[in-house]
Amino acid sequence: MKIQNTPINVLLDNTSKQLKGIKEITPPEWAKFVKTSAARERPPVEKDWWYARAASILRKLYIYGPIGVNKLKRKYGGKKNRGHKPERYYKGSGKIIRTILQQLEKTGLIEKTKKDSHHGRILTSKGKSLLDKKWQETPQKEKKSD
């Protein structure tokens, strides 16, 4: 069973609770007022959304390997409701992603790397063990046999 096949919401909840205990990962003052993308109409309603986003970024780094801010901006973007005009795709906020990546680097969970022609960040062994431990704690989906 792979980490991709686990229930995402349970894994992210467990990981975000773990990240909340790390003192280097804290939401900045401006995080209360900022939207997560130009496609969003309002800021997030959840008060602990910063930790959930950090856990989600860790999971993306685990799955996709060396990944940079620009690709993460595309992953966290969305379609904007423009009234009667057709919807259009907008990228996610780069400032939020960069700040979370910098905080995760300070904790030693991720590091910058260059693998062939790909630049970006990857998980360290400490980050992989954190996600693997949380993955082991989550209930796994059972395969249905027909």
d(CA 51, CA 49): 5
Residue reference for tokens 């904790």 = 107
What's the CATH number of domain 3-134, 1.10.10.10, 3.50.50.60, 3.40.30.10, 2.20.25.90? Answer: 1.10.10.10
Residue reference for tokens 């309002």 = 42
Residue reference for tokens 């906020």 = 93
Ranges of beta strands (E only) in 5-145 are 78-80, 88-90, 110-115, 118-123
The mean of the pLDDT values for the chain is 86
- Check whether 137 has a pLDDT greater than 80: no
pLDDT tens-digit readout, 79-129: 999 999 999 999 999 999 999 999 999 999 999 888 777 788 988 888 888
Mean pLDDT over residues 25-50, rounded?
90
pLDDT tens-digit readout, 47-60: 899 999 999 999 99
pTM of the model: 0.85
Residue reference for tokens 């997560």 = 36
